């Protein structure tokens, strides 16, 4: 596992979150089965997993809202079980839905939440960070979905936290609103904030996350960056192209014909096999129309990992 050791660097913990052997059960059901994970300061980290995988329990333990049964957990150098109130002054939480007063305006809403903290961030600065300066006098009920989500993030920033938890931040949004929220989240990295993001959307994780982990059946089944998760960058790629009617590549290229004069070949040596293919095409003077290389997507890898975990869990309980 690509990890950061929990060591003191310049008086600060190198890891924002350090988890070792974390366990949690509800009766006979093991929700978390010995999780090990470290999340670095200043990164956006995504947690992926199907419903019932243990994501919510895991995050609630990190936030100090649920007690663990076993293992060691530190969040910003604090044990959530032992010092939950000390932790809450250092974190911000954005839930799927918020209970803000819809008749307050934007600035009043942020001011109200800022009053709960000893050293809040200035309201004008927060509104600028989330792109709501022009809406400061607008009532909450008149905001669009994307603007309301920005306000949720503004509220989470009110106490100037070091770490933010974002729970499914764009569920139910149209593509334009999703992009708006994504840019706000990306900007948090520039502030030096650590962000823990739970999402069901693979494109969201791909776009936002520096690293991610897949939780399935109470265990972390893969961890890494979006491009190389579970060896994704080394998996077989598919090269697909179109040839003129009546032209076929030589057998030595191991190309499979498809309907419509389309051909494809699977390869784990993309550079070499593309070279052989284009060398042949140049030699015979044909154009490889619509030439493209496709690797397994993050969603493909995720579905394979979670299916394997579900099968193993089923076997162990049968």
Kindly report, residue by residue over 189-198, the tens digit of the pLDDT: 889 999 999 9
Closest by alpha carbon to 191, among 126, 132, 133? 126
Residue 236 has pLDDT above 90, yes or no: no
pLDDT at residue 296 in the model = 83
Identify the CATH class of 8-230: alpha beta
**Higher-confidence position of 54 and 11:** 54
Segment 37-52 mean pLDDT: 95
Check pLDDT > 50 for residue 317: yes
Q: Is the pLDDT score of 122 beyond 90? A: yes
Beta-strand runs (E) in the chain: 8-9, 12-13, 15-26, 29-40, 44-48, 70-75, 91-94, 163-167, 194-198, 211-216, 219-224, 237-242, 256-258, 262-267, 289-294
Q: What is the pLDDT of residues 46-74, one digit of tens each?
A: 999 998 899 999 999 999 999 999 999 99
Question: Which pLDDT score is estimated for 219?
Answer: 95
Report, as an integer, the average pLDDT of 6-10.
41
Distance CA 285, CA 54 (A): 56
Least confident range of 19-33, 62-76, 181-195: 181-195
The whole-angstrom separation of Cα 240 and Cα 18 is 44
Distance CA 54, CA 60 (A): 10
Looking at residue 88, its pLDDT comes to 92
pLDDT at 99 over 70: yes
Residue bearing the bigger pLDDT, 103 or 118: 103
227 pLDDT exceeds 90? no
Mean pLDDT of the chain: 90
Percentage, residues of the chain above pLDDT 90 = 69
**β-pairing, 256-258 with 15-26?**
unpaired
Is the model's pLDDT at 208 over the cut of 60? yes
pLDDT of residue 304: 86
How long, in residues, is the chain?
A: 318
Q: What is the value of pTM for the model shown?
A: 0.82
In this prediction, residue 91 has a pLDDT band, given cuts at 50, 70 and 90, of very high
Count CB neighbours of 282 within 10 A: 11
Q: Residue 316 — very low, low, confident or very high, per pLDDT cuts 50/70/90?
A: low
pLDDT value, residue 240:
95
Q: What is the structure's pLDDT at 310?
A: 76
9 pLDDT tier (thresholds 50, 70, 90): very low
Distance CA 98, CA 36 (A): 31
- State yes or no: pLDDT of 107 exceeds 70: yes
Q: How far is CA 143 from CA 34, 61, 150, 199, in A?
A: 43, 32, 10, 23
């Amino acid at each position: 596992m690509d990890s950061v050791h929990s060591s003191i660097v310049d008086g600060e913990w190198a890891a924002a979150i350090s988890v070792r052997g974390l366990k949690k059960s509800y009766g006979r059901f093991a929700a978390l089965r010995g999780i090990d994970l470290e999340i670095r300061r200043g990164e956006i980290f995504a947690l992926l997993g199907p419903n019932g995988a243990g994501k919510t329990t895991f995050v609630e333990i990190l936030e100090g809202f649920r007690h663990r049964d076993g293992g060691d957990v530190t969040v910003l150098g604090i044990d959530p079980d032992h010092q939950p109130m000390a932790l809450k002054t250092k974190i911000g939480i954005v839930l799927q839905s918020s209970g803000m007063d819809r008749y307050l305006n934007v600035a009043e809403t942020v001011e109200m939440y800022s009053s709960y903290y000893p050293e809040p961030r200035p309201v004008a600065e927060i509104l600028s960070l989330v792109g709501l300066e022009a809406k400061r006098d607008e009532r909450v009920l008149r905001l669009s979905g994307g603007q309301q989500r920005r306000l949720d993030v503004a509220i989470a920033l009110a106490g100037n936290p070091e770490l933010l938890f974002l729970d499914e931040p764009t569920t139910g949004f149209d593509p334009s609103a999703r992009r708006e929220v994504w840019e706000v989240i990306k900007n948090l990295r520039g502030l030096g904030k650590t962000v823990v993001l739970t999402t069901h959307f693979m494109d969201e994780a791909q776009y936002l996350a520096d690293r991610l982990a897949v939780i399935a059946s109470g265990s972390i089944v893969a961890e890494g960056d979006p491009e190389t998760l579970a060896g994704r960058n080394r998996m077989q790629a598919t090269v697909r192209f179109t040839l003129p009617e009546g032209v076929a590549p030589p057998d030595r290229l191991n190309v499979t014909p498809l309907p419509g004069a389309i051909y494809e070949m699977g390869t784990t040596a993309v550079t070499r096999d593309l070279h052989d293919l284009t060398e042949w095409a140049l030699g015979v003077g044909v154009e490889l129309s619509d030439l493209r290389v496709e690797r397994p997507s993050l969603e493909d890898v995720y579905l394979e990992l979670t299916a394997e975990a579900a099968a193993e869990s089923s076997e162990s309980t049968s």
